[in-house]
């Protein structure tokens, strides 16, 4: 809370602001003011301001100078700069006005609580004006009677204040109104001046801080006049082709002022001006003839003038006008060169003559035609050949020799001097040396070392090398006293040029010396594409093609080959740029490598595509070192085997190709009886003599059932096998099988597993062996052949061919008993119906013999046939037993079958003890 005293002070302050001000003339007057009022201060000077309080405010509000606060743009001035003069006046001092800003205010703190503005002023800081310098004046001619004068000066530095300039001038006895510039502070124009009177001219500058005047300039306006340029300029052709006549009009009378002129001209299209010598136009005139121009050339002219004595200023250049000179004879012959194509026929040449069109300043008109003369130097008596062409080349086919060619260019005014070219039979003269090139200032410079002999001139020939276009030859002539020049054609960067220099002599020419050059090089457009030519175990031969000249963009300085494995570091190899093949060595076998190649010029390199290859697992000769010994060993083994077979050929032949007896050579017919011997079975003694068998058993053995029998049971069959082996080497089985058409296997064949052997190519034997009675020695009873070979005619018995004898019936009944098939089973095998033979008494064979012959009529067959039949039955029964078949003797009932129904077979022979066997 405020104290009672503070409330009183606050009330007084409000009262001062509201009621204590008096209004006079519409202006509010405060309790104080600042002096000086709105001062203009020099930049960097000292400044002191005073704030003075009114006495009325002091008495009413208890306000004193000690309560005053100074501010610059709402920034409090430090109290160190205050000074209280008395109780109503306070001052503030600034040592440098550079930091002084506006406004500067005087404020008071009423009772130390509320700040109140008393007064404020605007402070202006600037500089006094400098002395104007470089005052100059010029009188411009605007018309024949109007000549205003314009003066200019340098106003000096910027003052930051409003500074006023005035151009003052006067004669010696007369003063004229000042010229005040408008919108500028450095020039002013006086509308009218008087010639031939000296006039004083100066400039005055003034602002709030002071004034300054320039040095005075005293002059006669006629000496500073700038006239208007001549007008109505015209250009006309003269009589001579090198002269043009100019005419014009002056814009000031000759009596008022004497003039002199400048005439300039240039060739149309050129930017360089030429001038007529000033002394030729140093007098008043209105026309002039310009000489020394080029014939048939268009020129541009312009003219200006000034006071004849040279005092004053040149006028501006007049409007440009053009004119063309007339034609003249060409000033020189066209430059000529040749290209010689030596044809397949040595005595003949194809020469292409080329010449350049003359430049306009050389042609001196329009070239109508070229006249070419070819003269053979070896035959002076022959007339020269002349040609007139409108083009700049001519192709001739001429014999080999030395020729002189001249070319003349002709226009309307006449012919040019002839250009002569000597074509020698051979370039036998000395050539230039050390041809070199150097890019310089966007051009290609060519230099050479001159030969020791005097050279008439040089021919520099060049063409652009490119794979996409032919080499189009360009050329230029140079004097014989130079040893270097710039090529004058359109030379492009990044392109390769073939440059050739020929020295021409008065009596021949030297051979050309060539060099390739680039105006500017760049990196190659692409890198080389590398491939493998040959890959080994530890090395790989890489090959690539050179970059084309269009892709090189510069001289190839080197190739760098980079190669690496999948997870290895990259290795770099630098290769000479002339090479197209390189061998990488010390590689790992059976490893994948990635290789790329970069081509480098002077400006950098570019890489080609990546290429991969895999080294071989074996090196050269390693496989051969393994394969060759193996093959040699194999050949040696084969050779030894062949030699062994050759030495043992008889043994091998016996095992592979056994000797089969030929039945056609058999002598069985000589010892085999026509009819089996007849036996008397009437008595038991005859039927069973001593040594005959007493017991027969038939056992059926399948090919796969051999294992079901004991070794003791199989011994008889082993004996049969041995008998078969013996009989194969000594006798031929004859006769058909017991089944007529179906072969069957012997015991030995079945034992060896040959179940399907074709009997048409083998001879089978079966031997019946009888077990002895009560451990007596067994006796071999008979042997039978199962051969399928046809019987010889001599072996057929006469009984078999009789029509209806008893013996035939008996044999048929015999085979009916042993071999006929069941009528209901005609398609079954012949041995399938046979049953095992068993006797009533196992120790007595008599029952078997009686069973065998029961049911047969002994009266019809006779005793001999009965014996035959009995032996045949016994033989068939034993034969069936040896082959593992079940045989049951059948009782033939009813009428015997006819001869046609009975199967035919060879009758087995019965062998008694002491009898015979087939050999």
With CA atoms as reference, report the closest residue to 911 among 670, 691, 682. 691
What confidence tens digit (pLDDT) does each residue in 293-303 have? Answer: 999 999 999 99
- Assess whether pLDDT exceeds 60 at residue 488: yes
The pLDDT value given to residue 29: 52
Of 128-132, 355-359, 425-429, minimum mean pLDDT range? 425-429
C-alpha dihedral (545, 551, 557, 559), degrees to nearest 10: -40
The pLDDT value given to residue 483: 94
d(CA 429, CA 433): 13
Range 576-583 average pLDDT: 94
Do residues 166 and 204 make contact, with C-beta atoms less than 8 angstroms apart?
yes
Cα four-point dihedral sign 393, 397, 401, 404: negative
Q: How does strand 321-324 pair with strand 298-307? A: antiparallel
Phi, psi angles (nearest 5°) of residue 557: -90, -30
Range 680-703 average pLDDT: 47
Q: Which two tokens stand for residue 418?
A: 């002839």
The pLDDT value given to residue 343: 64
Do residues 715 and 723 make contact, with C-beta atoms less than 8 angstroms apart?
no
Cα-based distances in Å from 737 to 584, 745, 763, 831, 902:
85, 10, 11, 11, 14
What confidence tens digit (pLDDT) does each residue in 82-106 have? Answer: 888 888 888 998 888 887 888 888 8
Q: Which of helix, strand or coil describes residue 138?
A: strand
The distance in angstroms from the start CA to the end CA of the chain is 171
The pLDDT value given to residue 654: 79
The pLDDT value given to residue 532: 95
What percent of the chain is predicted at pLDDT more than 70?
67
Report how far Cα 879 is from the mean position of its chain's Cα atoms. Answer: 94
What confidence tens digit (pLDDT) does each residue in 631-653 have? Answer: 999 999 999 989 988 888 888 87
- Number of helical (H) and strand (E) elements in the chain, helices listed first: 14, 53
d(CA 329, CA 295): 9
Do residues 911 and 784 make contact, with C-beta atoms less than 8 angstroms apart?
no
pLDDT level of residue 112 (50, 70, 90 thresholds): low
The pLDDT value given to residue 740: 37
d(CA 420, CA 507): 12
d(CA 546, CA 527): 10
Do residues 138 and 188 make contact, with C-beta atoms less than 8 angstroms apart?
no
Burial category of 327 from C-beta neighbours within 10 Å (exposed 0-12, middle 13-18, buried 19 and up): middle
Of 134-143, 254-263, 418-427, 650-659, minimum mean pLDDT range? 650-659
Burial category of 244 from C-beta neighbours within 10 Å (exposed 0-12, middle 13-18, buried 19 and up): buried
Range 831-856 average pLDDT: 37
Q: What residues have CB less than 8 Å from 462, skipping those under 6 apart? A: 473, 474, 475, 487, 489, 497, 498, 499, 500
Q: Which of helix, strand or coil describes residue 248?
A: strand
d(CA 890, CA 825): 15
- Assess whether pLDDT exceeds 80 at residue 775: no
What confidence tens digit (pLDDT) does each residue in 799-810 have? Answer: 444 444 444 434
Q: Which residue has the tokens 């600042």?
A: 34
H helix or E strand, kind and range, residue 743: none
Q: Which residue has the tokens 């005139």?
A: 285
Do residues 274 and 292 make contact, with C-beta atoms less than 8 angstroms apart?
no
What percent of the chain is predicted at pLDDT more than 90?
40
Range 690-714 average pLDDT: 49
What confidence tens digit (pLDDT) does each residue in 360-412 have? Answer: 889 999 999 999 999 988 766 678 899 999 999 999 988 888 889 999 999 99
Range 268-278 average pLDDT: 93
Q: Which of helix, strand or coil describes residue 12?
A: helix
- Assess whether pLDDT exceeds 70 at residue 912: no
Do residues 474 and 491 make contact, with C-beta atoms less than 8 angstroms apart?
no
Best-predicted range by mean pLDDT (33-37, 839-843, 850-854) = 33-37
Of 88-102, 608-622, 831-845, 891-905, minimum mean pLDDT range? 831-845
Residue 495 Rama label (left phi>0; alpha psi -120 to 50; beta): beta
Listing DSSP states for 486-504 in one string gives E--S-PPTT-EEEEEEEEE
């Amino acid at each position: 809370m405020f104290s009672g005293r503070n409330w009183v002070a606050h009330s007084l302050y409000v009262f001062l602001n509201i009621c204590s001000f008096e209004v006079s003339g519409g202006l509010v007057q405060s309790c104080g003011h600042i002096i000086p009022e709105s001062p203009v201060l020099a930049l960097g000077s000292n400044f002191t301001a005073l704030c003075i309080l009114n006495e009325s405010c002091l008495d009413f509000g208890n306000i004193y100078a000690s309560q005053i606060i100074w501010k610059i743009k709402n920034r409090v001035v430090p109290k160190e700069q205050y000074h209280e003069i008395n109780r109503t006046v306070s001052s503030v001092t600034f040592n440098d006005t550079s930091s002084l800003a506006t406004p500067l205010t005087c404020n008071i703190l009423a009772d130390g609580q509320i700040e109140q503005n008393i007064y404020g002023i605007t402070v202006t800081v600037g500089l006094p004006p400098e002395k104007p310098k470089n005052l100059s004046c010029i009188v411009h001619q605007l018309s024949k009677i109007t000549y205003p004068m314009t003066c200019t000066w340098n106003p000096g530095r910027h003052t930051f204040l409003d500074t006023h300039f005035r151009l003052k001038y006067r004669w010696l006895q007369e003063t004229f109104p000042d010229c005040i510039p408008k919108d500028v502070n450095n020039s002013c124009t006086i509308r009218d001046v008087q010639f031939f009177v000296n006039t004083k001219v100066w400039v005055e500058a003034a602002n709030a801080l002071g004034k300054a005047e320039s040095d005075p300039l005293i002059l006669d306006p006629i000496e500073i006049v700038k006239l208007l340029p001549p007008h109505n300029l015209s250009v006309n052709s003269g009589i001579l082709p090198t002269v043009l006549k100019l005419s014009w009009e002056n814009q000031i009378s000759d009596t008022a002022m004497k003039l002199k002129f400048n005439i300039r001209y240039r060739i149309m299209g050129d930017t360089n001006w030429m001038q007529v010598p000033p002394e030729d136009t140093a007098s008043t005139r209105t026309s002039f003839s310009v000489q020394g121009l080029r014939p048939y050339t268009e020129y541009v002219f312009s003219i200006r003038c000034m006071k004849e004595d040279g005092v004053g200023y040149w006028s501006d250049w007049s409007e440009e006008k053009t004119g063309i000179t007339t034609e003249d004879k060409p000033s020189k012959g066209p430059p000529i060169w040749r290209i010689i194509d030596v044809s397949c026929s040595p005595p003949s040449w194809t020469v292409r003559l080329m010449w350049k069109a003359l430049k306009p300043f050389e042609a001196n008109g329009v070239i109508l035609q070229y006249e070419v003369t070819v003269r053979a130097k070896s035959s002076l008596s022959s007339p020269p050949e002349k040609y007139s062409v409108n083009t700049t080349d001519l192709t001739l086919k001429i014999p080999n020799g030395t020729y002189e060619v001249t070319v003349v260019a002709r226009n309307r005014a006449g012919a040019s001097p002839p250009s002569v070219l000597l074509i020698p039979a051979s370039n036998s003269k000395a050539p230039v040396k050390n041809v070199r090139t150097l890019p310089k200032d966007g051009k290609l410079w060519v230099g050479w070392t001159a030969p020791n002999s005097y050279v008439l001139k040089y021919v520099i020939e060049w063409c652009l090398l490119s794979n996409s276009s032919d080499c189009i030859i360009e050329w230029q002539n140079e004097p014989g006293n130079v040893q270097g020049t710039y090529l004058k054609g359109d030379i492009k960067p990044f392109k390769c040029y073939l440059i050739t220099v020929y020295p021409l002599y008065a009596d021949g020419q030297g051979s050309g010396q060539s060099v390739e050059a680039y105006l500017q090089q760049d990196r190659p457009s692409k890198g080389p594409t590398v491939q493998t030519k040959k890959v080994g175990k530890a090395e790989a031969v890489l090959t690539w093609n050179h970059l084309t000249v269009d892709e090189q963009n510069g001289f190839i300085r080197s190739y760098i080959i980079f190669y690496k494995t999948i997870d290895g570091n990259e290795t770099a190899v630098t290769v000479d740029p002339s090479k197209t093949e390189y061998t990488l060595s010390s590689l790992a076998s059976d490893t994948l490598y990635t290789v790329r190649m970069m081509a480098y010029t002077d400006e950098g390199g570019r890489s080609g595509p990546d290429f991969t290859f895999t080294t071989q697992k074996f090196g050269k000769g390693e496989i051969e070192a393994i394969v060759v010994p193996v093959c040699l060993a194999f050949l040696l083994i084969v050779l030894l085997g062949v030699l062994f077979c050759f030495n043992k050929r008889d043994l091998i032949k016996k095992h592979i190709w056994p000797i089969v007896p030929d039945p056609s050579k058999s002598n069985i017919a000589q010892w085999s009886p026509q009819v089996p011997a007849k036996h008397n079975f009437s008595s038991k003694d005859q039927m069973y003599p001593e040594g005959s068998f007493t017991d027969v058993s038939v056992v059926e053995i399948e090919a796969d059932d051999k294992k079901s029998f004991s070794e003791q049971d199989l011994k008889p069959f082993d004996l049969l096998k041995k008998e078969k082996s013996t009989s194969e080497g000594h006798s031929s089985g004859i006769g058909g099988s017991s089944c007529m058409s179906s072969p069957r296997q012997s015991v030995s064949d079945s034992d060896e597993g040959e179940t399907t052997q074709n009997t048409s190519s083998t001879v089978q034997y079966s031997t019946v062996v009888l077990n002895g009675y009560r451990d007596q020695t067994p006796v071999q009873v008979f042997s039978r052949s199962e051969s399928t070979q046809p019987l010889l005619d001599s072996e057929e018995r006469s009984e078999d061919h009789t029509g209806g004898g008893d013996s035939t019936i008996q044999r048929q009944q015999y085979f009916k008993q042993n071999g006929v098939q069941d009528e209901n089973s005609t398609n079954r095998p012949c041995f399938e119906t046979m049953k095992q033979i068993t006797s009533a008494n196992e120790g007595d064979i008599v029952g078997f013999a009686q069973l065998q012959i029961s049911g047969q009529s002994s009266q019809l067959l006779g005793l001999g046939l009965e014996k035959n039949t009995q032996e045949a039955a016994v033989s068939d029964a034993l034969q069936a037993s040896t082959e593992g078949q079940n045989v049951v003797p059948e009782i033939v009932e009813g009428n015997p079958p006819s001869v046609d129904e009975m199967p035919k077979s060879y009758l087995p022979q019965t062998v008694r003890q002491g009898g015979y066997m087939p050999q």
